[in-house]
Amino acid sequence: MKYKNLGRSGLSVSRLCLGTMNFGPETDEVTSHAIMDSALEHGLNFFDTANRYGGADNWGATESIIGRWFAQGGGRREKVVLATKLYGEMDPWPNNRGVSALAIRKAVDASLKRMQTDYIDLYQMHHIDRATPWDEVWQAMEVLVAQGKILYVGSSNFGGWHIAQAQEQAHSRNFVGLVSEQSIYNLVQRDVEREVIPAAANYGLGLLPWSPLHGGLLGGVIKKENAGKRRLQGRAKEALDAIRPKIEAYENYCDEIGYEAGDVALAWLLAQPVVTAPIIGPRTHEQFDASLRALDVELTTEQLARLSEILPGYKTSPEDHAW
């Protein structure tokens, strides 16, 4: 396994992050535990979850699955860099959503209880909370750091302006602030290249891309469709139909250079300087094993350039939309 510091921090994490959103709703507990065991066996030490994961009628279930895995001992908790998130509504009662000081206090204590641990390595805001001022957010986070309940703070789905605002406020308090940003980023969805990535690079945040295969569109979907292994319907079919010629060209190029499409998509992300670790979200052990192949794929400068010709990205703002 290869490792990289999370942004400007001294925290060393694996180049792939195990996303657990499917644990519970799609993947049973036994399989979830087996995947996490396999992750450690392969040296993958970075796990990501959220307090809302588990399904609409079972918020928190994924954290509880992780907690019961930690409870098995064997150094499981000590080996894992544990990341979770807060923001979404956990129940309709007031102050059980967002990132107010009270919401933060209640959310962190609930997550710690579910995951049967006394600290969280990376505590992430799942979304910007426009109703809460930054001095309140940072004061609450500072208290959690002082109490030893969290070690680092990250963001998710923030805009470039949000990152700048958060960091300037943190700096004024002599607080470390954010060390990471979790955004949707892949060869199809590259909007963050305009402002989020420049902001993250400027402030020393590591980028944690979610949906690295863009819902499977970058995982050889046309080849699987032609082989009768996958049949797309609804929004997934509409998404593919909208860019089918580009995905066909992408899959053909992957064949040309001798790699599986999903491996190339992950390897492309790993080659981006600001990216610390793409978040893989396996439903099965087979999918987890397949994700590991990307670590052995080294794309050349020419190959990276060709991929951006097939699936173009964006220039940094304002150059992207100005002369």
Give the active site residues: 53
Rg (CA), the chain: 20
The angle formed by the CA atoms of residues 86, 34 and 38, to the nearest 5 degrees, is 90
Q: Is 174 exposed, middle or buried (0-12, 13-18, 19+ CB in 10 A)?
A: exposed
What lies within 8 Å, CB to CB, of 317 at 6+ separation is 160, 194, 195, 198
Q: Give the residue among 29, 35, 41, 43 at the shortest CA–CA distance from 1.
A: 43
8 Å CB contact between 108 and 90: no
Cis amide prior to 318 (ω within 30 degrees): yes
Which residue, 141, 65, 69, is CA-closest to 99? 141
Number of other CB atoms surrounding residue 63 within 10 Å: 28
For 73, the 3-state DSSP assignment is coil
Neighbours of 67 (CB within 10 A): 18
